[in-house]
Structure 1
């Protein structure tokens, strides 16, 4: 285990002690998970956690996000499982991405895998297309206009648009890895593919990638894709969805697994449900 991995685990244990929660799952998000980190990229740690059963019976709703101050090296924050499952019901792309991450710091209980298994059923092409399209459109308008642009921002428009194209082609959650999206969706031997690959090599080698002349071949592609998905997004289906009843049972099972079957709340639920 690397020193940074050890430090991340120490931070997670500190959060558990300070917040009186249990961390169910923790992973890397952002550029490291997407496969294009710079040499100085920070670590974007995301996690799901669960409070004690009695916290969910309070008149005052417990805060459903835990955040730690961002440092030069670490950006750590997480969602309460209840919030996560509510967003999963809406096919939330960030959560779907967390669950796919190959860089996992912890997976201490079965709930993350249970959600993962439900992902194909819960996946909504329309919701995800709109999410990625809005992300691409916002970053394009903010960073990639004019004769000189923040050149590293190309990745933050390319990746969501390639995710849209993956959904259109395969009707499934797109992979995290940028290189997989490029290899599958941008034809080899084209100027676009060559330009994107060269930019990726530069970013991963530590080039500054700040203000530079815009790359017309990429800008043209981005404008075409944004225009296309703005028109096409409404044609995608909503998916089958996962019922709240199924997610309620998953939530209760997680409470029982983490805090024990003997908790008063869990026992009460078992009696009411006839188990």
Structure 2
């Protein structure tokens, strides 16, 4: 991990997380911080979501004993709750092909805990994986979070609703993934009160949205959906990934070399 990666973790209020990765069952290709810390609205009691990719041995792919495509681990370290999920490179690559903005956000997270040459190669290929159909991912994610907010009244799903809609709009307009909500507020027109919601969320993970007019919220969320639809319609992004063969070759080379 480079000095700039360490600095970005410190700026996000995170400690050196490399020791927590010790003892993983399979070699890690990368691990980054996702979740509220990446999105720019962590609370003092937020857990740390670590996401990444590992590499199964060839025997775990072609033999009778199937390897773990996905590894999940949750634990507490010195009062810090940690949640680590990694996928085998092949599964991660397949998710990348399926217009899954979530895995691209993990791959491109600036909060890097562990990296490798394969990680760098995946990052280099990522622009060729982005299509205008990624708008569907963000539209669906927003609908899910909006329904959860209406059920619970919590700030977290409300902020997720705004975050994913703004990420989708920005992606359709620029071809660039930006998951950090405070940064998005400077790039895409959004309701002025969202910054205040971020401040309120910082006080507690499960705080409620107390001073927001429900009618205005609905109107503003619908307006952002309309903006996402328009951005997708006007987008110059391709309809299909353009680096399928290159990604296939990278997966094969990496597996054979291991």
Unaligned runs of 5+ in 1: 260-275
**What's the TM-score once normalised by structure 2's chain length?**
0.82
Assess if the C-alpha contact under 8 Å between 1:22 and 1:49 holds in 2. Answer: yes
| Matched residue SS, 2:210 | strand
1:155 is matched with 159
Task: Provide Cα deviations, 1:42-95, integer angstroms capped at 9, x if missing partner.
Answer: 000112100222222214542310011355711111111010111122232122
Unaligned runs of 5+ in 2: 1-5
Matches of residues 133-152 of structure 1 in structure 2 within 5 Å? 133-144=139-150, 149-152=153-156
Bigger drift between 65-74 and 151-160 goes to: 65-74
Provide runs of 4+ in structure 1 moved above 4 Å: 205-208, 227-238
**What number of residue pairs does the alignment pair up?**
243
Task: Provide Cα deviations, 1:184-205, integer angstroms capped at 9, x if missing partner.
Answer: 1126xxxx21x11111122224
- 1:208–1:118 distance in 2 versus 1, CA, 3 Å: closer
Q: Find the aligned partners of 1:57 and 1:245 in 2 and give their Cα distance.
A: 21
Q: Find the aligned partners of 1:231 and 1:247 in 2 and give their Cα distance.
A: 30
Q: Find the aligned partners of 1:228 and 1:184 in 2 and give their Cα distance.
A: 13
2:104 is matched with 96
Larger Rg: 1
Matches of residues 77-116 of structure 1 in structure 2 within 5 Å? 77-107=85-115, 109-116=116-123
- 1:223–1:205 distance in 2 versus 1, CA, 3 Å: same
Q: Aligned-pair distance for 1:230?
A: 6.2
**What's the TM-score once normalised by structure 1's chain length?**
0.77
